[in-house]
Amino acid sequence: MKRNLISPALLLIAFLCCSLLQGQSTKTNLNPNKVTYPSYGSEERSTIIFPKVMGYEVVTCDFHTHTMFSDGLVWPSLRVSEAWTEGLDAIAITDHIEYRPHRKLTVNDHNTSYTIAKEAADAAGFMLIKGTEITRTQKTLGHFNALFIQDANPIDTSDAKASIREAKKQGAFIIWNHPGWAVDSTYIKEFQEDLFREGLIDGIEVFNNTEFYPRVLAWAVEKGLTVISASDAHGSIEKGVLAKEGIHRPMTLVLASERTLAGIREALDKGRTLAYFHNTIAGREVFARGFVNASIKAKLVTKKEKSSDYLLTNLADFTFKFSFGKKKIELPALSSIIITIPNNPTSINLVFGNIFINENQLLAHDLQL
Ligand code: ZN
């Protein structure tokens, strides 16, 4: 026969606890046959931290996502909750106008995914941008996101240019999506040349999903286009290896004068963005420099005759990788390291291995000491 392992003292404590709980509320119903654990679905929001850059708030945005209302695999409100839990500030849902394989299951017009997501966004105080994706033959015309639209339905026309013009008429910000996707090489075709001439393209994706297009960064710099990085998520957002390593989804860091939709729009129009992906930044030199200056602070620890030790503190949720002379140094996100600097200069030149300011050009920066 098995021995009873529960001591009489423990039974007494359990009995007292039950009595006390029952005393607190007559409604407490302790059912020994059903014990409830916290929900797997309970949500907590992570915090993505960036210091102000050149006086601007850094607003984290993903301007390219899909739902079941085009060829995505998730419901619109889930797009909002996953972005909210990840700590992003804003997203756009950009369902394809022309490609809707689940159409028979989702009887809807082109605004429905936004309407559903907006309810979830408002409930969480989360910023949602109304958008759509104009999706034409990739090899000749391309795909374009229209953000800040009023109504996606009239954008559904047979002529690609007419669709873009209609979006523009509604006040849209137009992004040329993934110029290098599904083509052998990244180049500007006749149709896009024409759009540039007419001033119909405002921004361009230098990074989309898993692809970086270095040449597109050169076009952005040359033509004064706003640089964009976006997930183009169709399924659920990566929570595996990358998330474990602290790498966020691809997103656009918008340098906005205020954390509002109007603030985001103003910054996009002025080209104040940085593209973030796989712990790499790509963007215009002025903002990349501003980002480094705001994020890395140097403080003297010990001064010796022929060298000094400096504490470098990283205020950003971004691991800086740089070379200093022959040394390769990693300054992890939101951390500090001490480095020894010979000959006591007033500044040091760092070359950042994970910050691009042009096609295959890394940022070299004099950090003031
Ligand atoms: Zn897309």
Please report the pLDDT score of residue 17 as a whole number: 43
| 207-213 own/partner pairs: CB under 8 Å, 24+ apart | 207/250, 207/275, 207/277, 207/282, 208/64, 208/177, 208/178, 208/181, 208/232, 208/250, 209/178, 209/233, 209/250, 211/178, 211/180, 211/181, 212/277, 212/280, 212/282, 213/178, 213/179, 213/180, 213/186
Determine how many CB atoms are found less than 10 A away from the CB of residue 78: 18
- Res. 318: pLDDT tops 80: yes
Please tell me the distance between residue 65's alpha carbon and the centre of ligand 1 in angstroms: 6
Strand ordering across the sheet containing 296-303: 296-303, 307-314, 336-342
CB 289 within 8 A of CB 283: no
CB 368 within 8 A of CB 347: yes
Please tell me the distance between residue 241's alpha carbon and the centre of ligand 1 in angstroms: 23
- Res. 9: pLDDT tops 50: no
pLDDT band at 359 (very low <50, low <70, confident <90, very high): very high
Please report the pLDDT score of residue 29 as a whole number: 66
Please report the pLDDT score of residue 41 as a whole number: 65
Please tell me the distance between residue 64's alpha carbon and the centre of ligand 1 in angstroms: 6
Task: Supply the pTM of this predicted model.
Answer: 0.88
Q: What is the pLDDT of residues 238-247, one digit of tens each?
A: 778 888 888 8
17 or 122: which leads in pLDDT: 122
- What is the biggest distance separating any 2 CA atoms in the chain, rounded to whole angstroms? 90
Domain positions in the chain: 57-283, 296-368
Q: What percent of the chain has pLDDT over 90?
A: 73
- Measured CA to CA, the distance from residue 152 to residue 200 in angstroms comes to 17
Q: What is the pLDDT of residues 215-232, one digit of tens each?
A: 999 999 999 999 999 999
Determine how many CB atoms are found less than 10 A away from the CB of residue 233: 23
- Res. 19: pLDDT tops 70: no
134 or 28: which leads in pLDDT: 134
- Measured CA to CA, the distance from residue 131 to residue 153 in angstroms comes to 11
pLDDT band at 99 (very low <50, low <70, confident <90, very high): confident
Please tell me the distance between residue 205's alpha carbon and the centre of ligand 1 in angstroms: 11
Please tell me the distance between residue 62's alpha carbon and the centre of ligand 1 in angstroms: 12
Please tell me the distance between residue 89's alpha carbon and the centre of ligand 1 in angstroms: 20
Please report the pLDDT score of residue 28 as a whole number: 59
Write the single-letter amino acid at 122. D
Please tell me the distance between residue 234's alpha carbon and the centre of ligand 1 in angstroms: 8
CB 264 within 8 A of CB 282: no
Please tell me the distance between residue 206's alpha carbon and the centre of ligand 1 in angstroms: 14
pLDDT band at 98 (very low <50, low <70, confident <90, very high): confident
- Measured CA to CA, the distance from residue 171 to residue 187 in angstroms comes to 27
- Res. 61: pLDDT tops 90: yes
- Res. 10: pLDDT tops 80: no
Phi-psi region of 243 (alpha: psi -120 to 50; beta: other; left: phi over 0): alpha
Please tell me the distance between residue 147's alpha carbon and the centre of ligand 1 in angstroms: 13
Please tell me the distance between residue 145's alpha carbon and the centre of ligand 1 in angstroms: 8
Q: What is the pLDDT of residues 141-171, one digit of tens each?
A: 889 999 999 999 999 888 999 999 999 999 9
Please tell me the distance between residue 1's alpha carbon and the centre of ligand 1 in angstroms: 67
Which of these ranges, 29-38, 188-197, 316-325, 344-353, has the smallest mean pLDDT? 29-38
Q: Which CATH architecture describes the domain 57-283?
A: Alpha-Beta Barrel (3.20)
Please report the pLDDT score of residue 4 as a whole number: 43
Please tell me the distance between residue 180's alpha carbon and the centre of ligand 1 in angstroms: 13
323 or 99: which leads in pLDDT: 323
Look-up of token digits 């597109």: 216
Which of these ranges, 21-35, 225-239, 261-275, has the smallest mean pLDDT? 21-35
Structure tokens at 210: 């898993």
Q: Which residues contact 340 (CB under 8 A, 6 or more apart)?
A: 307, 308, 309, 310
pLDDT band at 86 (very low <50, low <70, confident <90, very high): very high
Instruction: Please state, rounded to an integer, the average pLDDT across all residues of the chain.
Output: 89
